[in-house]
Amino acid sequence: MFNGPVKLAVDSGASTLVIKPNSSGSIRISSWLKPVDPRDRPFSLGPGCHPRAATSLVEPEAPVPPPPTRYQPPPDSDGKYFPRSSGFRAWFQVRRALVLGLSFMATALLFAGQGAQKVGMGKSLYDQSAAARALYAEANHVLGWDLTKISFEGPEAELTQTKVCQPALFVHGLALHAILQEQGRLDDVSITLGLSLGEITALTAAGVFDFATGLRVVAERGRLMQQACEQTVGGMAAVIGEERAKVAELCHDFDIEAANFNAPGQIIVSGDKAKVESAVAAAKDRGMKKVIPLNVAGAYHSRLMEPARAAFSTFLDTVPFHAPRLTVFTNTTGQTVSEPAAIKAALVRQVVASVRWEDCMRAAAAAGATSFLELGPGGVLAGLARRTDKTWTVKSFSEFSDLAA
């Protein structure tokens, strides 16, 4: 461990930061020593790191005031700069030992998707935290119906409806986020991602939306997706223990789609219910040992959701998007997304596209995440993480007792 602050020259070498250790052993930006070069972005030294990011630590130096608000590029500029805002988009984190044997860590937040909900979720948060109570009260006001009562008391059949469970999981995740923030436990967070609807929760945590706007977005998404389910006859099935190529061949032959790549050997297929049933029956003849029909309301993340996608796109035209303060990974590609227009396009496409959750998790780890905090009920995402890479550290938070651990 080191006693900061320490001066660190980053990326292009044109900017310098003062960094200080947190109690956890990770680092945070303390102040800038020069005007900020837009080429200098928060980065990690994980696999695939660009060699220009191999920086050097020098002698401790006293903090100085924040950088100027404007930056003038150097004379040798090629003009191919990242926007200035990208340099502030995430907390500065470094993943691996660098020089002098120092270790740095980044933490990623994980937000749950549909299916993780259960009656009673969030009740202890509401009872024990004023911040959580405020969010649930605001949610009831924004939605115009009693989300709190359905979340805490059910009935399960009502909570399971797409138009209900999506906003319920969104509020539950952000209530956990608010409490952890109050406890000062999110200082090391630089990355956030969520499974399906959880991507909207992650974007809200990253500052793309305020709470009320994010809630309206996820509620409209849930309403439109439930409407699409009611207009079609869809089904889904889980394919366990098979490679992507073999599942892709099955999907092609039966005119269905891969809806989720959750973890190695766990892929969900989706489509017309009769076609999914035929694919399940044929899978055994193809040597697929475990293909399980799922009890779902419709064919999520397939072309049967096209009516929802089109209407959701129109709705999002009225919604303001902001650049995220954290690094965010999108389900549609498994890669980062940062420009507001690209974030909107990804949310629209996600309604009918495959959720590449395994890809998101691997990319987050490669970007520097050495630990993950799951904010949602059931520990589903922790289970998928263990299935993907047993070396990853994942801590799950669902109720208030988890926050005291």
In a domain, 321, yes or no: yes
CATH number at residue 268: 3.30.70.250
Other C-beta atoms lying within 10 Å of the C-beta of residue 246: 15
User: Does one domain contain both 181 and 60?
Assistant: no
The answer to the question of residue 333 being in a domain is: yes
Q: Does 150 lie in the same domain as 287?
A: no
Q: Which active-site residues does the annotation give?
A: 196, 301
Q: Domain ends where: 75, 104, 133? A: 104
The amino acid that residue 184 corresponds to is G
Q: Please check whether residues 239 and 383 belong to one and the same domain.
A: no
- Domain C-terminal end among 264, 294, 324: 294
Same domain, 100 and 114: no
Same-domain pairing of 199 and 261 = no
Tell whether 247 and 154 lie within a shared domain: no
Check if the beta carbon of residue 96 is closer than 8 Å to that of residue 133: no
The answer to the question of residue 238 being in a domain is yes
On whether residue 18 sits in a domain, the answer given is yes
Distance CA 217, CA 213 (A): 6
277 and 319 share one domain: no
Dist CA 371 CA 233 (whole Å): 40
State residue 394 phi and psi, 5-degree precision.
-125, 125
Indicate which CATH number applies to the domain containing 342. 3.40.366.10
Same domain for 345 and 357? yes
Residues of the domain holding 245:
233-294
Give the tens place of pLDDT for each residue, 134-166: 999 999 999 999 999 999 999 999 999 999 999
Look at residue 81 and tell me if it is in a domain. Answer: no
Query: pLDDT tens digit string along 184-194?
Result: 999 999 999 99
Contact (CB, 8 A) for 346 and 333:
yes
Can you give the pLDDT at residue 405?
62
The answer as to whether 388 is a domain residue is yes
Q: Say whether both 144 and 212 belong to one domain.
A: yes
- Give the model's pLDDT for residue 32: 38
Burial class (CB in 10 A: 0-12, 13-18, 19+), 315: middle
User: How far is residue 217's CA from residue 212's CA, in Å, rounded to a whole number?
Assistant: 9
CA distance 170 to 204: 9
Same domain for 365 and 219:
yes
Determine if residue 101 is left, alpha or beta; phi over 0 gives left, psi from -120 to 50 gives alpha, anything else beta.
left
Q: What is the pLDDT along the chain (405 residues), one digit of tens a residue?
A: 334 444 343 433 434 443 444 444 444 443 333 344 443 444 333 333 333 333 333 333 444 344 444 433 334 433 333 333 333 333 343 333 333 333 446 999 999 999 999 999 999 999 999 999 999 999 999 999 999 999 999 999 999 999 999 999 999 999 999 999 999 999 999 999 999 999 999 999 999 999 999 999 999 999 999 999 999 999 999 999 999 999 999 999 999 999 999 999 999 999 999 999 999 999 989 999 999 999 999 999 999 999 999 999 999 999 999 999 999 999 999 999 999 999 999 999 999 999 999 999 999 999 999 999 999 999 999 999 999 999 999 999 999 999 986
Q: How many domains does the chain have?
A: 3
pLDDT at 404: 83
Integer Cα distance of 135 and 141 in angstroms = 10
Other C-beta atoms lying within 10 Å of the C-beta of residue 178 = 20
Query: Is residue 84, in this structure, part of any structural domain at all?
Result: no
Domain boundary among 244, 259, 294: 294
First to last CA, the chain: 24
CA angle (215, 220, 222) in 5-degree steps: 95
Same domain for 192 and 142? Answer: yes
Residue 38 lies in a domain: yes
Query: Quick one: 265 and 120 in the same domain?
Result: no
